Structure 1
Amino acid sequence: MNPFKNFETRQVLDETCEVHGCKLWLTKVPIKGRLEELKQCPECTKSAINFFESKLNSQSKVNSKLANTYAVFDRDSLVSDKLKEKSLDNYKIKDEIDQHALNFAKRMEQFYRLGRTGNAIVTGPSGVGKSHLTYGLAKWMNEQFKAYENPKSVLFVSLITLFTKIKESFNSDNSYSQAEMVELLSKVDYLFLDDLGKESRKADTRNNEWAHQILYEILDNRSNTIINTNLTSKEIKTLYADDYGNGALSSRILEGVTGNSFVYPQEMEDRRY
């Protein structure tokens, strides 16, 4: 079927276009199953087509950019369904320390939005809201960058889930191979690591060296990593001062965190129960 058949049978009228001065065409165009006569300026029609194509191309570029930036958060984050419901909006303020924590998150959003670099770390005992706070910050940063028409790739990753999926890839192709994950986590603009330290096992030197090597490969190739952990800075230096790098990994973890850290008091009770 020839889509231009109606234009081939056009009738050139004596009327002219007020914009281009060329003669109008009278064509029959199918509208709701019937052929209707329509007067058209060929130049106006061409301009409209060019404008539409330009708009489609522009939107395609935007969508492509968002696919590699804004969409990364929902598409590639490794996070539990329960945590996905969390945000800074539903972070509960029960006492002064919670308000300080929320203020810290808002300050870090501004810090990164202004283009500054450096890691950040949130430490404290289990169950006080570290994952909620940092996931809420990640979600908010992702939305803010888009709102300011400067979308960035923001990724939130549970380290326990990450290493579980990498191990599963040894037996089947699950798109979470070690090489693929190191590549992804190294290149995103802002990486959030959830529960640092949980990937390491007591007295399992072989597993720890493997996991620590992967962490080193990721952190050695990036800045702007936001971490939450139960570990103190002293415990981080002890745990990650293994034979691989002789402490180089702990220095990568703590790189740039001066002024970008928040500590929940050790005496805080677990709020999950």
Structure 2
Amino acid sequence: MSQVLVNGVFLGCLFAVVAVGLTLVYGVMEVPNFAHAGVIVLSAYTTWSAGAAGLPFALAALAGIACGALVSVLTEVLAYRWIIDRPAAAPAVALGLMLILQNVALRLYGGEGRSLDTPYDRVLLRLGGVSLSGIKAALVVLAVVSLLALHLLLSRTSLGRAMRAVAQDREAAAILGIPLRRQYALAFLIAGVLGGIAAIAYAPTFQISPYMADEVLLSAFVVVVLGGLGSVWGAVAGGLVLGVVEGLGSAYLSPAYQSAFGFLLLVSILVLRPGGLRSTNARRVA
């Protein structure tokens, strides 16, 4: 049981990092950012390419995170910014961007799966009867550090307060002089950084391919709904809950239905608590 719970926490941290980027963008712009999957894919390929070129893993990882941030901001500047007043078009545009980014990766790198080597591939941590690979331990630490940094940014800085103001009431924030486009770009920048971190965590465990992020993106959207739309800490809680549920279901029922357990949980939450675990009466990023 302890080992299953530890594996569930690993999955939950991965889901949380992806879901926080999604809920941040949704809270500020009300856009279901499906293109986040393409951001993760290009970040993973950039990290792999930098490592194959001989860069140390730390520099390759930074290159991947920078790629994720850049691509994410470009999606906002080139596409989402022009549909901010037409929310009905957002899902179609987001799906189109996801397909474009995935096909760019397919064109550049082909469809063959690639593996990302890390310095901690052979590290194995043991505590009692529980073992944790170095890759999973690094993800947990990276997720905790990045989410705490995001919390400090949102709660302790003027940029974070401005972003929360835009999420709560876009028109009032504009009247008060908050530059909306800057906040949109900042939200996508942070989401891209988190996407790059997710790619670095995801790629060593699973092979890199143009469609590697599809399944984790679906799980992340389940987490966003579970946690309550626009709630960052709701997304963190939802990610951990979903990770543990999928881990328990895979261990004690069947791993073939791992994703189904998450959707069953989603249906249960929507029936019992339609607003999610941390429902809010207004759009919030807090």
Using the size of structure 1 for normalisation, the TM-score is 0.23
More strand by share: 1
More helix by share: 2
- Larger CA Rg, structure 1 vs 2: 1
Using the size of structure 2 for normalisation, the TM-score is 0.23
